[in-house]
Amino acid sequence: MSFFDTIDKAKVPQHVAVIMDGNGRWAAQHGTDRIFGHQQGVESVRNAIKAATRAGIKYLTIYAFSTENWNRPRFEVEALMSLLVNVVKAEADELDKNNVCLKIIGDRDSLPKKVIKETDKMVARLSKNNGLTVIMALSYSARWEIINAVKSIAADVKKGKISTEDISHELFDSYLSTANIPDPELMIRTSGERRLSNFLLWQLAYAELYFTPKLWPDFTEEDFFEAICNFQQRERRFGMTSEQLKKRM
């Protein structure tokens, strides 16, 4: 039986965030170079999108490249950027056919022009779709995002557009690159690493964290469904007691 059949379709998370990690180790295990590992990882992205669509998830955020990843060897950074451009071009038709909408978050100004051009084209092309929204975090880091939000809030206070008293959780949300997108209820990280690596620090405040030893290129649709099932077995208490939650049901 597939994990898909075990999923309670009425209780799937609205938003799942994924740190796809382990491409380099996968490549080393297969005696190839890191770039081949990244290429293999593309198939897992396709599978995650398919799985999220099948499960009825509304938002899927994938961490594709962090601010810190700019510190990798130049050859790898360039290979990742050109892989991205090729994938965006090659996948547009399929994503459109599957009614997928795309958003990009991250430090746009740090990206090569070619990446900006191709991703902009793809975002525009898919903008009317209303199926799964894929949010690609590209040259993204949560601290960068939070600092940006703080700067914009400070500027708006200075201009008199808002007052200090207006600053609330909700207002802060609206200054983030994920404004109007619900927080992820589930965060999946592959490759056995158990850290957030500067990913969605604000938005993941109450997310359930799921870590799997599988390396990203080995992560299948079935693995994605297993993570959803695992999520559905958890009791999300939000500071309350188990008894309180049972009374509410």
Binding site for ligand IPE (CB under 6 A): 19-25, 63-66, 68-69, 80, 191, 193, 195, 197, 216
Residue of closest CB approach to Mg ion: 21
Chain contacts with Mg ion (rule: CB under 5 A): 21
User: Smallest gap, in angstroms, from Cβ of residue 196 to ligand IPE?
Assistant: 8
Catalytic residue among 69, 129, 198, 230: 69
Bridge partner residues of 16 (DSSP): 60, 186
Partner whose binding site includes residue 222, from ligand IPE, Mg ion, none (CB under 5 to 8 Å by kind): none
69 is in the binding site of which of Mg ion, ligand IPE, none (Cβ under 5 to 8 A by kind)? ligand IPE
Query: Catalytic: 21?
Result: yes
- DSSP E strands in 76-148: the ranges are 101-105, 133-140
Reply yes or no on whether 69 is catalytic.
yes
Contacts of 4 (CB under 8 A, 6+ apart): 54, 55, 221, 222, 225
Beta-bridged to residue 61, according to DSSP, are: 17, 135
Q: How many other C-beta atoms can be found within 10 angstroms of the C-beta atom of residue 245? A: 13
CB of 28 to ligand IPE, least distance (A): 8
Q: Which is nearer to ligand IPE, 12 or 19 (CB)?
A: 19
What pairing do the DSSP bridges indicate for beta strands 208-211 and 186-189? parallel
Choice between 13 and 24, CB closer to ligand IPE: 24
Cβ–Cβ < 8 Å for 199, 225 = no
Q: Which of 147, 231, 149, 153 is nearest to 186 (CA)?
A: 231
**With respect to ligand IPE, which residue has the nearer C-beta, 7 or 138?**
138
Q: Which two three-digit tokens encode residue 229?
A: 């099932």
Comparing every residue's Cβ against ligand IPE, the nearest one is 24
- The catalytic residue positions are 21, 69
